[in-house]
């Protein structure tokens, strides 16, 4: 996989820059507050790379953020080919719209919730699950960057009322995200009955030039929608689900009510 090739590149550059700085693994470990065995495990590939580690190496080795940039490349390259155009649209959007009738949208998932969702495929190796979890959390950084997009998420009440133990944490996270001025969370109440959104999730990204890119999921993966007719259909479906959803303040109150039913965290 391309992500593995990029990860190999990061490890090679870690060794090269450490050596050029005149540091052995033990000396670098002391400066970075990692053990020499951890440094060795990362450089040989027996320990996976993670953001905290490469950020610390950037600081200690004064690389100007090289390793963090390479790690982002590795995570993007590891995404399925059908998903990469949507990731590009998501990163460059001025406004993002998400609807899901059964799950919390990925951009608003906690780590534990994302891990549970990604484990739906029980044939997936644990290392692959963890890589995908890291990539999903990386996507969420657009919410806290200097100039974030406006995010409007519509979620069906049924998605909030799962009884899994991780839901208390997830609901608390939704409330924190809803406190951000650019994040709008709306809930379709259960008494809305049958509606057009039950045919499946959708996402829309509005780009700086005013154009729209859509994305839809299915059991085999997903597909990007960028043709005029397809985008127009998704925009119409979006208006349908948005029109059924509660206002922002009432949606927040409903999320708090559901959260309270889980008891103290």
- CATH assignment at residue 222: 3.30.870
122-149: b (≥16 Cβ within 10 Å) or e: eeeeeeebebbbbbbbebbebbeeeebb
Residue 7, pLDDT above cutoff 80: no
What's the whole-number mean pLDDT along residues 172-191? 96
Supply the pLDDT for residue 11. Answer: 87
Rounded Cα gap, residues 136 and 248, in angstroms: 25
108-121 pLDDT, tens digit each: 999 999 999 999 88
198-255 pLDDT, tens digit each: 889 999 999 999 999 999 987 767 788 888 899 999 999 999 999 999 999 999 999 9
What is the percent of the chain where pLDDT is above 90? 57
Domain co-membership, 247 together with 164: yes
Report the Cα–Cα distance between both ends of the chain, in Å, rounded. 40
Domain co-membership, 196 together with 66: no
Question: Domain for residue 180, yes or no?
Answer: yes
In terms of pLDDT, which residue wins out, 222 or 89?
Answer: 89
In the chain, the number of structural domains is 2
Domain co-membership, 62 together with 152: no
Question: Domain for residue 115, yes or no?
Answer: yes
Task: Give 173's pLDDT tier (boundaries 50, 70, 90).
Answer: very high
Domain co-membership, 96 together with 64: no
């Amino acid at each position: 996989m391309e992500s593995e090739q990029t990860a190999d590149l990061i490890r090679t550059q870690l060794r090269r820059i450490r050596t050029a700085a005149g540091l052995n693994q033990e000396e670098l470990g002391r400066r970075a507050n990692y053990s020499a065995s951890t440094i060795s495990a990362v450089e040989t590939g027996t320990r996976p790379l993670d953001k905290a580690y490469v950020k610390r190496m950037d600081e200690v080795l004064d690389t100007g953020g090289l390793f963090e940039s390479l790690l982002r490349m590795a995570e993007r390259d590891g995404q399925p080919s059908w998903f990469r155009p949507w990731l590009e649209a998501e990163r460059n959007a001025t406004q993002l719209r998400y609807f899901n009738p059964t799950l919390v949208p990925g951009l608003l998932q906690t780590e534990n919730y994302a891990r549970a969702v990604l484990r739906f495929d029980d044939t997936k190796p644990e290392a692959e699950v963890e890589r995908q979890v890291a990539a999903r959390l990386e996507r969420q950084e657009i919410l806290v960057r200097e100039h974030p997009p406006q995010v409007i998420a519509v979620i069906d009440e049924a998605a909030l009322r799962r009884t899994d133990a991780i839901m208390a944490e997830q609901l608390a996270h939704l409330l924190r995200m809803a406190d951000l001025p650019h994040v709008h969370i709306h809930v379709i109440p259960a008494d809305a009955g049958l509606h057009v959104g039950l045919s499946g999730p959708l996402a829309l990204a509005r780009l700086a030039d005013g154009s729209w890119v859509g994305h839809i999921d299915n059991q085999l993966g997903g597909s990007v929608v960028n043709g005029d007719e397809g985008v127009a259909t998704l925009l119409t479906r979006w208006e349908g689900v948005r029109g059924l959803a509660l206002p922002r303040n009432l949606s927040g109150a409903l999320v708090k009510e559901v959260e309270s039913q889980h008891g103290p965290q």
